[in-house]
Amino acid sequence: MLYKNKQNCNYSDIKKVKFLIGMFLLICFTLIFCSSSLQSSEVISITAVGDMVFPYYLENWQNHFSELINYFNSDLNLGNLEGPITNSTVSTKNSSSSKMFAFKFSPEITPKILKYLNFHGVLVSNNHSFDYGEKGFNDTLNYLKKVQIEPIGLKNNVTKFIRGNKKIAIIGFYYSSKFNDLRDINFSSYFVKKVKEDNDFVIVFFHGGTEGQNAKFVYNKTEYFGNENRGNIFAFAHAVIDAGADLVLGSGPHILRGFELYKGKFIAYSLGNFVVSGGLSVKGELSLSSIFQCNYDLNTNQFLRGKIIPIDLSSKNPRLDLSKRSIPFLKLLTNQIYKDNFNSSPNIDIDADGNIFIVSK
């Protein structure tokens, strides 16, 4: 009897060991599979808006932005700061001219608004950055630093972020030799190529192109505002993607422009205005804007999907547009880019809710 009990005990122990080994192997396989699945679907979310011209005085500023804050919860939130944050009273522009604007934003409230909306970086290379000279520009950098928001677009400079185990680089361009000059396409391509060598994902954020009511269309040609050369935005965007850029975001025309998917990389040619004040017009189509969102696969660096959040600027305060007028407008503008530049239909589409997706051809 003792012998039989010993034999039964050994057999039971062997079964337990086999069971434990099996469970261990199953857990290991599951962990490896899950790790592989997570790695193969590593996604970055990006939210971007266009030109921000803040009122210098704005009471109860939270009330103006509270309905928008939930849209700024991406891995990266970006925008164009269209002027300096400064108390300086010495402008470098002749603001007495009806067509010449000198912008400046309050150091008391503007950094708080940017932080409230969870901006990670803002473009500081544009035609209003030096409206109050070197002092105004340096003030801007200091105020941004205090609220831990990165400036984008300093000459020969790269703004870097880490998301997961990926290195994200953002390069800002503008039509001036004082910054990274988008008119010099050879330089722009070289710069992007060098930056891509040391980074996993590269975003190009530019300020360029003509502006105003008639600036909504995109063509493969140099654009002028008055006599000022503001670059061939179409050629620039394609060149930086050829050099390694993964996403191209545009600002400057003060009106929305269409989208393009080029070699699997997304181009937003103009994000329009996001915050408007002073003499900026909001008549007609200039009142239409959006918050742009997109997702990318960080392992393939390919665009996955996007989203348009329609914004109404008719009151000069950004408001959610429940009538969604920006969506058909952006669809029209996207169709224009493909029709006039490629004589084809788009390889992306925008549905009635503002979802942007790839179209199989």
> For position 1, what pLDDT does the model report?
36
How far apart, in whole angstroms, are the C-alpha atoms of residue 120 and residue 149?
A: 5
Q: Domain range holding 188? A: 46-358
Q: Which stretch, 5-19, 86-100, 129-143, has highest mean pLDDT?
A: 129-143
How far apart, in whole angstroms, are the C-alpha atoms of residue 68 and residue 63?
A: 10
- For residues 226 and 197, membership in a common domain is answered with yes
Report the DSSP pairing between strands 265-268 and 259-262.
antiparallel
- For residues 24 and 58, membership in a common domain is answered with no
- For residues 95 and 236, membership in a common domain is answered with yes
> For position 37, what pLDDT does the model report?
35
For 76, 185, 244, 248, 295, the CA distances from 175, given in Å and listed in that order, are: 25, 11, 21, 16, 28
For 15, 216, 281, 313, 314, the CA distances from 285, given in Å and listed in that order, are: 75, 9, 10, 10, 10
Range name among 16-20, 98-102, 212-216, 352-356 with the lowest pLDDT average: 16-20
Joined tokens for residue 203: 């975003």
**CATH of residue 347:** 3.60.21.10
- For residues 177 and 248, membership in a common domain is answered with yes
- For residues 250 and 333, membership in a common domain is answered with yes
Range name among 10-14, 130-134, 168-172 with the lowest pLDDT average: 10-14
- For residues 182 and 79, membership in a common domain is answered with yes
Q: In what order do the strands lie in the sheet with 265-268?
A: 159-163, 166-174, 201-207, 247-251, 265-268, 259-262
- Residue 179, pLDDT > 70, answer yes
- Residue 233, pLDDT > 60, answer yes
**Mean pLDDT, the chain, integer:** 91
pLDDT tier, 26 (very low <50, low <70, confident <90, very high otherwise): low
pLDDT tier, 225 (very low <50, low <70, confident <90, very high otherwise): very high
> For position 354, what pLDDT does the model report?
99
- Residue 331, pLDDT > 90, answer yes
- For residues 72 and 151, membership in a common domain is answered with yes
How many domains does one find in the chain?
Answer: 2
- For residues 6 and 94, membership in a common domain is answered with no
- For residues 53 and 32, membership in a common domain is answered with no
- Residue 20, pLDDT > 90, answer no
The average pLDDT across 153-168 equals: 97
pLDDT tier, 14 (very low <50, low <70, confident <90, very high otherwise): low
- For residues 280 and 145, membership in a common domain is answered with yes
> For position 214, what pLDDT does the model report?
96
- For residues 346 and 295, membership in a common domain is answered with yes
The average pLDDT across 260-276 equals: 98
How far apart, in whole angstroms, are the C-alpha atoms of residue 144 and residue 46?
A: 20
> For position 360, what pLDDT does the model report?
84
Phi/psi at 53 (5° precision): -120, 95
Range name among 15-29, 43-57, 62-76, 99-113 with the lowest pLDDT average: 15-29
Q: What is the pLDDT of residues 243-253, one digit of tens each?
A: 999 999 999 99
How far apart, in whole angstroms, are the C-alpha atoms of residue 82 and residue 181?
A: 17
Q: Which of 9, 25, 40 is the last residue of a domain?
A: 40
**pTM (predicted TM-score):** 0.88
Query: 4 by DSSP, 3-state: which?
Result: helix
β partners of residue 94? none
> For position 25, what pLDDT does the model report?
55
- Residue 99, CA atoms < 13 Å, CB-side half-sphere: 4
> For position 279, what pLDDT does the model report?
83
- For residues 2 and 104, membership in a common domain is answered with no
How far apart, in whole angstroms, are the C-alpha atoms of residue 275 and residue 257?
A: 17
Q: What is the pLDDT of residues 279-312, one digit of tens each?
A: 899 999 999 999 999 999 999 999 999 999 999 9
